[in-house]
Chain A
Amino acid sequence: MTETILLITALVFYLLSLILQLTVPDRKQGQYALFLAVSVHLGLLAVRSAAAGHPPFTNIYETFLLLPFLTGLRLILWPKQADRPLRAILTGVAGAFLLVALFLPGDLKAIKPLMPALNSFWMYIHVPAYFLGYMALIVALVYALMILFARDEGKAGELERKMETEIRITFFFLNLGLVTGAIWAYVSWGNYWSWDPKETWALINILILAFVLHLQRPNAEKSMDRYSDGLQRCLYLLGSKFYFVRTAFLYLTPP
């Protein structure tokens, strides 16, 4: 019950922050509302962790709570990194995640004890690494979409540089997640790589991002076709997001 109240309160503050960001010219008001949303969100995660007895990243419901929290926290901690449209979109995305969490079926929200293989120190490195990667991936995807609607080449170029930075952050954290997952699997059952579906998808995800990174062209060619370039990257990043969604649904399996 406490959890649901906190969830709805955080959702209301995210919505309020979004409205203020879209309607009030003063940036601070939206930021204050966002600060309240993230604070309540933190309380929600603390209540959930205390009830479950472990950090909140072991099932789909907790996934839908933690990812928007990291997104909101990033907007609070590094406010200058995101300009007005990006802030508004990311606040909306965080709210949308919470809305999905609110309406998930009860059995997906239930606290379930951890399986023996999940009782590991490596879970506390492996899973957050992926979450940080997916948070940067959301930002990259938003930048990729914004490139499609950029007014001029200069703006598109600036957005592209920012998107590439986010993709690099994603790439690093997904690699970190893969390596720590391999170490965890090795400690758990002695095999760091066995081509199981989860490992294979994690690799495909990294290959997609590696492909996106290798799409960087020399400057002379860069202006050739912004739209097809942006569209391609949107599709690739959406491909990577698909992995997040399917992983979230299968999350109860170990590394």
Chain B
Amino acid sequence: MILPSTPPLWIALSLMLIAAVMFNGIRSFRQKILHLMLAAVFLLVAADKSGNERFFITLREGETISLDNYVSHRADAHNVDLTLKRFEIEMHTDGRTPRAFRSYLRINGDRPAVLSVNDPLAIGRYRLYQSAYEKHFYFVVNVNDTLYEATFGDTLPSPSGPVALDAYDHRSRRFRMMKNDTAFYVPLETPVVKHHTEWYISPQGEHYSSVIEMAEVSGLRWLLAAGLAYLAVMAWDFWLSHKRRRKK
């Protein structure tokens, strides 16, 4: 059922065009066809905008997700695991401007695939698009001789309860840790004891996360065909009108 969730604007526009044709607001036969085709385009847009799924996935390098957790009952992308092996930013020769953003993926652990801007990847009736990226700094956090890899926002276990790695203050060169809304600080690469726990944090390096937009594309071929047909009919109509005027 499409109508209840359809963006009303596109429906309203197409109804106005259909009404203009039906009630003789447009008299020329060619113009009637043109306006009805435009109404069809708007209806297809409305159907696509309301019927097709669209969502974002953020994948860290090395992380695997199952698309089962994202897609709805439409079966094409079920039982598909997606792993981000590596994210790459290729730069132009000036060293400042990116030339390409690429996600090196593995589908179901064995099928390699490269996703980049302007080069989407098809999985069933879904398409994956390289949308954005995030850069994370990772740290090795030693909590009472147990090592954890963490980035900002991650929560770490400690004998006195969970503690979040919140931020790094560059001026004082120390990390802000949050425990139950109370902050305490751990200097970079300096062991300290806080809340009866020994802490030591050292930098590990930077990792990327790839932000991938996933969209269902069923019916879009019809929309493309309708849009191009509309342009063709418009060109035909203009050409005939031009010829008629020249004859006059």
Contacts and interface: CB of A to CB of B under 8 A. Distances in A.
Do A and B make up one complex?
Answer: yes
Interface in A101-153: 112-117, 119-120
B222 interface: no
Contact of B120 (A112, A176, A190, A193): A190
A190 B231 contact: no
Nearest to A168: B238
Specify the main secondary structure of chain A where it touches its partner: helix
B242 interface: yes
B25 to A, nearest CB: 10
Specify the main secondary structure of chain B where it touches its partner: mixed
Contacts of A190: 54, 120, 127, 129, 131, 213-215, 217
B31 to A, nearest CB: 10
Nearest to B127: A190
Contacts of A113: 92-94, 97, 99
Contacts of A169: 238
Interface residues of B, number: 36
Interface string B67-99: 000000000000000000000000011100111
Nearest to B25: A214
Contact of A189 (B100, B213, B227, B228): B213
Contact of B98 (A115, A120, A168, A171): A115
B231 to A, nearest CB: 6
Interface of A: 112-117, 119-120, 161, 165, 168-169, 171-172, 175-176, 179, 182-183, 186-193
Q: What 6 A-B pairs have minimum CB-CB distances, sorted nearest first?
A: A113-B92, A190-B129, A116-B117, A190-B215, A113-B97, A168-B238
Interface of B: 45, 49, 54, 92-94, 97-101, 116-118, 120, 127, 129-131, 213-215, 217, 220, 223-224, 227-228, 230-231, 234-235, 238, 241-242, 245
